[in-house]
Amino acid sequence: MSPEMAKTDEEWRRQLTPEQFRVLRQKGTERAFTGKYVDAKDDGTYRCAACGAALFMSGTKFESGTGWPSFTEPAVAEAVELIKDRSHGMVRTEVVCRNCGGHLGHVFDDGPGPGGQRFCINSASLDLDTDAPPPLPGV
């Protein structure tokens, strides 16, 4: 984690919405099919909603039917940290933003791509940057 990202809960609470705080800082999970990016198909870069780090690219997003945005791989491997998670009586692999330590979701090995991974990510942890080109002058 970057040293400047060592914020207190109070600082994160001021910066994030209550739902973002619950997911990113308290490892919560949004209810399936309720997140704003479940069906999103816009092109762009999915950034961390807490720190802005580029996490996932729209080209790797796929329809998983799970109710959470799903990706076959991170934008770059270094963007995320994978942590063994034994909570709730399961053994899972938690996905965390490497830059700020924010909880993103979990990764499973039943994905459709060549890597076989399914990154199951909360919409609340993401901020889609559509990289819209500037309007042409005179149009």
Among 99, 117, 123, 125, binds Fe ion (CB under 5 A): 99
Residue 83 Cα distances to 8, 110, 116, 120, 123, angstroms: 22, 18, 18, 14, 20
Q: Is residue 120 annotated as a catalytic residue, yes or no?
A: yes
Task: Give the span between the Cα atoms of 56 and 109, in whole angstroms.
Answer: 17
Task: Give the span between the Cα atoms of 65 and 10, in whole angstroms.
Answer: 36
- Part of the chain binding Fe ion (CB under 5 A), chosen from 32-40, 52-60, 84-92, 129-137: 52-60
Sign, CA torsion 72/107/84/15: positive
Strand partners, 84: 93
- Part of the chain binding Fe ion (CB under 5 A), chosen from 62-70, 72-80, 100-108, 123-131: 100-108
Identify which of residues 103 and 116 has a Cβ nearer to Fe ion in the complex: 103
Q: How far is the CB of 52 from Fe ion (least distance, A)?
A: 7
Footprint of Fe ion on this chain (CB under 5 A)?
48, 50-51, 53, 97, 99-100, 102
By annotation, the residues acting in catalysis are: 120
